[in-house]
Structure 1
Amino acid sequence: MQQNSLRTSVRRLSGPVLLSLGLLAACQRPVSTSTRPAEAGSTSSPAAAMAPAVIANPVLPGDFPDPSVVKVGDTYWATATSSNWGPTFPLLKSTDLVKWELVGHVFPGERPAWADYYFWAPEISEEGGKIYVYYTAHKRGGNLAVGVASASNPAGPYTDHGPLVGQPHGSIDGFPMRDENGQLYLIWKEDGNSVQQPTPIWAQRINEARTALVGEKQELFRNDPATWEGNLVEGVSIVRREGYFYAFYAANGCCGSGCTYATGVARAKTLLGPWEKYAKNPILINNDAWKCPGHGTAVQHQGRWFMLHHAYAANSQQFVGRQGVLTEFTWAATGWPEFRGGTTAVAPTPVSAVSFTDEYTSKTLAPSWQWPVEERPTFALRGGQLYLTARPDHTGAALGQSTTAPAYTATTTLLNPAALPAGSRAGLAAHGDPDNTLAVVAGGGKVQLLQTEKGQTKTLAETTLPAAKTLQLRLQAQQGSQFTFGWSTDGGATWQPLPAGGAAVNGSYLPPWDRGIRVGPLAHGPASAVAVFENFKLEPQQ
């Protein structure tokens, strides 16, 4: 996960839910875990030589940057960056690497006490019957650091063990690996690019309890600014095969419309090197469908090799975010890995755009719901209704669903909007972060269209709030960033556009550099105000 020089202070389906459709046969063959010294098998079997099945990418539709995957028994477990959205670090499971179910989060409630924001690049691994998640977060009063949490079950609960390393320029992208002698090491990146410095990849021994580093760190390799790597290398994932350690890594700019990310590989006969970068790097690059592929984990399935990594869909780019993509690679006669054609193979498919509906009939909020990680809202579910307590700061209390397509319609029903206390309002918003939203809201006798950019809110349009017990609110997006809004008092049979002419509002400013847009309810005002919502629906459009 790249930390730009920019230093701002800164799922979606009701569970259990399948995140993608597609087909790879179930796998029963065991795979060595990332922290064990055993070498991975070759792919010379007849099954590996067969033509690959079509993969309906993205396999993790929506904003799932820096995905990591491990196989535990017959099941693959994955997690990904959650950045400044809570709950922290989604947990997903699959039997085939294609159909994924969101089952929870590493930290479903409170954040680890030592960290405040930027929850990045979790690396999930298994050894000795325990699950370990190495992750990056911003240390309170400090800089970026790599921490670790553990559990006896992949689904949790997880116990946090605190930070392991936090250098002055920041430390990110932790990855565990045993060397050729079975010694356990932590691999990480020093975040020098945040201060216009090189980005060395370090290795240092870690104790078996995974609670502290021991000995001295040693550099494996660093970025070469005169090549495609530009100002950084990061996101290292290592496998061992036929006498070599192979380090897959990302380089250059990770995020946004101007991203330049790509994937390279280096190898060494011993973990501490010397390391040799592949002369044909980068080995995974853009194509017409996917942009800036990188930061993932190499994994085997039925004797075939895949990389679960992120990439932007070209038709939605930063507005949906970096989606989880599965790309197959093979091993050349030279021993180096090669992706077919050098690019992510399959274009986004319509089946991967996911609809979501919540009638709030469960006792707990669906695991796909998210909120600003530093501003966890207060809410309750009762009688098929969501009670969202307002907040006076920023744009208010917010809940959001990750979007999965550049065109979509979101609707919600707000109950008794006229009963909201003075100085409060509630409605439906496209959320970039707490200081950047577009929202259609009701309160104070008005229905308003509000634009908040960099913390400054202005009213784009308003009309008189009708005397109705229910108010339906609608938000529609095209091309990821062009938004129209409407309201209805007859259950959505007829819609009144806001503004009256139905003009689109440009929301291209919404997503932060490392996140996609979320959509969902919000409530702004004193904590004595409680907004009541009856339903929510998010539906992608073709």
Structure 2
Amino acid sequence: MKQLINTLFLIMLFPICSWSQQLVLRGDYPDPSVVKIGDTYWATATTSNWAPAFPILKSKDLINWQVVSNVFTNLPQWADYYFWAPEISYDNNKVYIYYSAHKKGGNLCIGVASADQPEGPYTDLGPIMCQEVGSIDAFPMRDNDGKLYLVWKEDGNSVKKPTSIWAMEMKEDRTGLIGEKKELFHNSVPWEGNLVEGVSMIRHGDYIYAFYAANGCCGGACTYATGIARSKSLLGPWEKYSGNPILVGGGEWICPGHGTPVAKEGKHYFLFHAYNKASSVYTGRQGLLIEYTITPDSWIKFVKPSEPKPNAPLYKSSYDFINEKMATHWQWSVFEKPQFTFKGSALYLSASPSYPGSFIGHKTISGNYTATTTVSVQKASAATGIGLIGDEKNVISLYYDKGKLLIVQIKGGKKSTLISRSLSNTQSLTMGVQVREGKNITFLYSPSGKDLKKLNLTPINGSYLPPWDRAVRVGLFAKGDSTRVGVFDNFELKNK
């Protein structure tokens, strides 16, 4: 009820700013951060419980992006899950990633990793702030005197307390904080709901401006919006804009927030995330770009473009598994890294004994898509399949196992076999999954690789799949003891 009231409050009292949001990062890229180094822009984003942690993307124009690496292929030893809100920055010829993660045996902490070049390799410097209720959403900022500070959010909303945005001086080598922390501001007005977070800052003229997000970030009932605060010095006093929120969901995009300001060719932009109203939680929070300017009274205003900006195009993903760089294109659970190798233009995925087995996942960028794979029945020794992954306890997949096609659903950790059909005397098998509206799922198969047939004539409802902070992945599976393998000749993802 509280979220509904907050949503109505935003709709009634504030203008809908949806006309200038340009989609530049399709798919699940929450909390995007961007920095310009030389003539190239570099970005990263939240991966939560998917590994490798934190993609590194590059672009020459802020519009067309390419994933080139990841910050952590092997996760830091001190952290176990919830790899959130990486902030990429460049200072004194060094690249730094400030990130949040759950400390083993503890709570959410802020860590730092560094590299000599943006694509890595990155060296983890360990956690530098761990508050009892959790510390997240770090941003580095220098004050007027040149001192380096860390700005972050204390996760008070997790224990039903107000959330504070803190600043504390940071060592130049980024290995720790010094002095005393100072509160900059906290959630204090109705539109902010139970939290403020995701602060990023930029200096224009006499002021430091803080972009910040507030209210409910995630899920179908999200109420996220973006506000602005300003101060003439980092440690305050801070003044919130009376016209907040300055960016509210509407039209094609909802719940906009948590991003980074960046300059391009003398203009100023804000890279942030929002849900697409049509594909919603199934494709996750996607990366959008909007221009802003400084008003005569020294506030920030988003700019309406003279003509609509084109969104990043839908694209097809196709892999034949010849020397593929799996860490660039694919993801897996932070709780179990699968073993895989490439032999003779095929992917060999080592199995895991319990359902859903071992798996790798690929981002989805549309609510309507078809994914297919050809499996080598002769070479595979495990139950081999394709399906959709929310998390480890919410999966639905089609397996071929010992002459049978099986649709297996895992919902809330409970397994059930929805369909079992015999299919023998086949050496190769094409398997697929067709998805409509993000949640209506039909599994496909063909022994010949042509004329795919529907295994389930009535679509299966996959609305239970997405976790609160992540989107659905489509993936490949191998189920059996660890000596067995699933063998895949290819994978193709077509979007509509």
Bin the TM-score by the shorter chain.
over 0.9
Query: 2:105 is matched with which residue?
Result: 141
Residue 269 in structure 1 maps to residue 269 in structure 2: no
> Which of these residues, 488, 491, 494, is aligned with residue 536 of structure 1?
491
Contact 1:223 1:229 in 2 (8 A): yes
| Contact 1:289/1:348, CA 8 A, preserved across alignment | no
Equivalent of residue 182 in structure 2, options 218, 229, 234: 218
Secondary structure of the residue that 2:158 maps to in structure 1? Answer: helix
Cα contact 1:235–1:295 (8 A) shared by 2: yes
Counterparts of 2:47 and 2:274 in 1: how far apart (Å)? Answer: 15
1:188, CA displacement in angstroms? 0.3
Change (3 A) 1:156 1:101: same
- Who is 1:398 aligned against? 359
Q: CA deviation at 1:417?
A: 6.1
**Does structure 2 conserve the Cα–Cα contact (< 8 Å) formed by 1:410 and 1:536?**
yes
Q: Mark the CA change 1:373 to 1:390 in structure 2 (over 3 Å): closer, same or farther.
A: same
Cα offset, 1:414, TM superposition = 1.0
Confirm or deny: 8 A CA contact 2:373 2:432 kept in the other structure.
Answer: yes
What is the correspondence of 1:228-307 to structure 2 with a 5 Å cutoff?
Answer: 228-307=191-270
Judge conservation of contact 2:20–2:309 (CA < 8 Å) in 1.
no
Write the deviation string for residues 341-395 of structure 1: whole angstroms up to 9, x where unpaired: 6xx9998967522210000011542611111112110000111100000012451
Whole-angstrom distance in 1 between the partners of 2:307 and 2:475: 30
Q: Gaps spanning 5+ residues in structure 2: where?
A: 1-18
Is 1:369 aligned to residue 327 of structure 2? no
1:106 maps to what in 2? 71
Cα contact 1:149–1:160 (8 A) shared by 2: yes
SS of alignment partner, residue 329 of structure 2: coil
Q: Secondary structure at the match of 1:400?
A: strand
Residue type of the alignment partner of 2:110: V
Change (3 A) 1:419 1:305: closer
Deviations 1:433-472 (A, max 9, x none): 1111110111033101111111111111110022111111
Paired residue type of 1:262: A
* Residue identity matched to 1:201: I
Could you tell me which residue of structure 1 aligns to residue 138 of structure 2?
174
User: In the alignment, is the contact (CA less than 8 A) between 1:56 and 1:349 conserved in 2?
Assistant: no
Q: How many residues align?
A: 478
Select 2:471's aligned residue among 503, 512, 516.
516
In the other structure, the counterpart of 2:392 is 434
Q: TM-score, normalised by structure 2?
A: 0.94
Specify the code of the residue in structure 2 equivalent to 1:498. Answer: L
Equivalent residue letter for 1:130:
K
Task: Classify the secondary structure of the residue corresponding to 1:146.
Answer: strand
Determine the structure 1 residue equivalent to 2:406.
Answer: 448
Q: How does 1:26-37 map to 2 (within 5 A)?
A: none
2:49 corresponds to 1:88: no
Alpha-carbon distance in 1 for matches of 2:22, 2:226: 18
Which 4+ stretches in 1 moved above 3 angstroms? 54-57, 344-351
Q: Per the alignment, do residues 345 and 458 of structure 1 end up closer, same or farther by CA in structure 2, a change over 3 Å counting?
A: farther
Cα 1:348/1:361, change in 2 over 3 Å: farther
SS of 2:157's equivalent in the other structure is helix
Alpha carbons 2:34, 2:42 under 8 Å: kept: yes
Matches within 5 A, 1:355-504: 355-362=316-323, 364-365=325-326, 367-416=328-377, 420=381, 425-491=383-449, 493-499=450-456, 502-504=457-459
Decide which structure has greater strand share: 2
1:213-260 deviations in Å (ceiling 9; x for gaps)? 000000000012x41000000000011111111000000001110000
Distance 1:346 1:525 in 2: 55
1:419: how far off?
Answer: 5.4
In the alignment, what sits opposite 2:89?
125
- Give the CA deviation at 1:120: 0.4
CA distance in 2 between partners of 1:260 and 1:418 (Å) = 50
**Using the alignment, how far apart are the partners of 1:509 and 1:374 within structure 2?**
21
Report Cα offsets for 1:411-445 as digits up to 9, x if no partner. 00111169525xxx110011111111110111033
Give the counterpart letter for 1:148 in structure 2.
V
- The equivalent residue for 1:73 is 38
Q: CA RMSD in A?
A: 1.7
Corresponding position of 1:506: 461
| Aligned mate of 1:206, from 149, 167, 170 | 170
C-alpha distance 331-526 of structure 1, shift in aligned 2 (>3 A):
same
Paired-residue identity, %: 50
Q: Does 1:314 align with 2:277?
A: yes
Q: Please report how far the alpha carbon of residue 299 of structure 1 lies from its aligned counterpart in structure 2 after TM superposition.
A: 0.5
